[in-house]
Chain A
Amino acid sequence: QWYQRRVREAVVSTQSTGYTTKTPQKLKLIDAYLGYIMVTGIIQFVYCCLVGTFPFNSFLSGFISTVASFVLGVCLRIQVNPANNIVFKDISVERAFADFIFAHGVLHLVVLNFIG
């Protein structure tokens, strides 16, 4: 039992130290952004649970906006990660960023229309 706890602690610490040291700054920025998006989505969801779903379109558009932004952020992170360079040879960092910006433009137009 104590043995299992020791292993668990070691795994957790390796993960966290591994993260802070090994992750490039760019990715950490994106991760912070992703965390922010997620927290915003959770807060919106909690609000909806508290006060009910009226107006439903507003809740949907807000929540889905956070979800879609999170997804786009993840895509950007994957494409920008140097470790994945082999897979994403043809897509430069700038191109990934441009796609990210464009997709966000479209997303926000749709969300603003639906939010009512």
Chain B
Amino acid sequence: YQRRVRGQSSLFYTLIGLDALSNNNLAVPTSLSVAGGSVISGDGSNFQVALVNPLGEQVTGSEASIQSAVVPATGAALFKTGPMEGGDGDFFVSPVPLPDRGVYSVGVTGSVPAGFVAPDPAKFKVKVVLPVTVEGANLKIVDVDDNRAMMTSDLSGGAAVAKVDLSSRLTLDFNIADSAGKVALHQVFVRFTNTKTQQTVYFVAQADLNKRYSLDVNFRTSAVKSFGGVAGEYSVDLILGDATLASAVVTNIATLTLDLPESKEVVTVPDKAAKPEITHVFRQPEKRPPQAISSLFTGLVLLPALIVLGVWMKLGANLSGFSFSLSGLGFHLGLLSVLGIYVHFFLGLIDMFATIKWLAIVSLFTFLTGNRLLASIAAKRKEKK
């Protein structure tokens, strides 16, 4: 409900504005617009132009004239230059008797009486569409190896019927013409439709310099490449299309039966059932040795430590010289603390940052005490000497 009110109010204000522009005493802007006949099809229709004010009312007493009406490329003219017929804002002009097909650019200017602003010169696109016919058609089925023509037809008696196989070649040539002579169109296709599977193959007919179109389909090479190896009955259509044609022209020119030794009739019924579910397989962990062996070797590795302790004792190592001084105790305590920090780190209780932090403190203490201890030992040794 609300939208409608808004629409109506904006329309109302727009109309008020346009009315003010159109019905004032000072200067009324005008414009040229196409009123009809922008597609000329040669049936006598005229090109109509209206000279109007902002409200769309025609301006009495105005004049319009054609400045130019040519095809930019060829220069062929559609309308005679000069004033258009009609008056009071409603103008028309007839095309030249036999216009050429094409898209024309028409320049129109208008003049208005006093109190009106002359319209800007306008450029309109006017299209001339004319019917075409296919002439001089020559359809041949030719043997590939010896060029023997197995069938010829000029398509005058309707669609041709023929059998083709891997040793055949289809050649088709023709002209396209309208009342003015031979023409070249944008879209000239030959379509083969398989009557059973509705598969289609398109070939493009090429024109030579004399505007004669030709098509050559060699079934030996194209049977697999273009036709997918599918044999069967094909209906052949000639399709003509262009901007200057009122509508596309589709003619059935032949019905061919394609024989192939092996026909690949593809029956593609997509399998809509669910595919088997993929379960992710996680990476298997590496094989580890059995616990017994690991434990055995752990014991084996620790055994030499005991052995070396025994050997040391046998060699006479002892703790008799242990100095219970501050630095002595401090040094050994520091070393044990470092060991303790390492154990904590290994067990994962502290990360590397904390380890480094603690180590810095403890190692400094250990260094100082160790320095003092070793220096005292050295001094004692020197004394003894």
CA distance A105 to B307 in the complex (A): 23
Contact of B352 among A51, A55, A113 (CB under 8 A): A113
Q: Which residues of A contact B294 (CB under 8 A)?
A: 51
Specify the main secondary structure of chain A where it touches its partner: helix
Closest to B310 in A: A32
A8-16, A36-44, A79-87: which lies at the interface: A36-44
Within the complex, the shortest CB–CB distance from A109 to chain B, in Å, comes to: 7
- CB contact list, B362-384 vs A, under 8 A: 363, 370-371, 374-375, 377-378, 381
Contact present for A43 and B315 (CB under 8 Å):
no
Would you list which residues of chain B between 276 and 324 have a CB under 8 Å from chain A? 286-289, 293-294, 297, 300-301, 304-305, 307-308, 311-312, 315-317
Give min CB distance, B322 to chain A, whole Å.
15
- Identify 11 residue pairs between A and B in the complex whose beta-carbon atoms are under 8 Å apart, listed by A's number: A29-B317, A36-B307, A40-B301, A40-B305, A43-B300, A47-B297, A52-B289, A94-B375, A94-B378, A95-B374, A109-B345
Nearest CB of chain A from residue B370's CB, rounded to whole Å:
6
Tally inter-chain residue pairs, CB-CB below 8 A.
71
Which residues in B have their C-beta under 8 angstroms from that of A47? Answer: 297, 300-301
Most chain A CB atoms below 10 A, which of B287, B293, B297, B378: B297
Q: Is the CB of A101 within 8 A of B352?
A: no
Known: A50-B289, A94-B378, A98-B370. A105 touches B315 (CB 8 A): no
Structural contact, A105 and B363, CB atoms closer than 8 A:
yes
Selected from A25, A36, A108, the residue in CB contact (under 8 A) with B342 is: A108
A88 within 8 A of B: no
Interface residues on A, range: 20 to 34
A93 B378 Cβ-Cβ under 8 A: yes
Does A71 belong to the interface (CB within 8 Å)? no
For B315, the chain A residues whose CB sits under 8 A away are: 25, 28-29, 32
> B370, A105: Cβ atoms under 8 Å?
no
When A and B form their complex, which 9 residue pairs have the shortest distance between CB atoms, in order from nearest? A36-B308, A94-B374, A51-B289, A32-B311, A54-B286, A47-B297, A39-B304, A36-B304, A94-B378
A54 and B288 alpha carbons, distance in the complex (Å) = 8
Q: Once bound together, how far apart are the Cα atoms of A112 and B349, in whole Å?
A: 13
Contact B378 A92 (CB under 8 A): yes
The answer to the question of B335 belonging to the interface, with a C-beta cut-off of 8 Å to chain A, is yes
With beta carbons under 8 angstroms apart, the residue of A25, A52, A112 that contacts B316 is A25
Taking beta carbons and an 8 Å cutoff, which residues of B are in contact with A? 286-289, 293-294, 297, 300-301, 304-305, 307-308, 311-312, 315-317, 335, 338, 342, 345-346, 352, 355, 359, 363, 370-371, 374-375, 377-378, 381
Nearest-Cβ distance from residue B288 to partner chain A, whole angstroms: 7
A50 to B371, CA, bound (A): 45
What CA separation (Å) do A55 and B286 show in the bound complex?
9
CA distance A32 to B316 in the complex (A): 12
Residues of A within 8 A of B286 (CB): 54-55
Cβ contact within 8 Å between B287 and A52: yes
User: Which residues of chain A are near B370, meaning CB under 8 Å?
Assistant: 98, 101
A46 CB to nearest chain B CB (Å): 8
Shortest distance in angstroms between A35's beta carbon and chain B's nearest beta carbon?
A: 7
Is A115 among interface residues, defined by CB-CB distance under 8 A? yes
Which among A28, A92, A94, A97 has the highest number of chain B CB atoms within 10 Å? Answer: A94
A36-B335 Cα distance, complex, nearest whole Å? 21
Q: Chain A contacts of B308 at CB under 8 A?
A: 32-33, 35-36
* Distance of A103 from chain B, by nearest CB (Å): 13
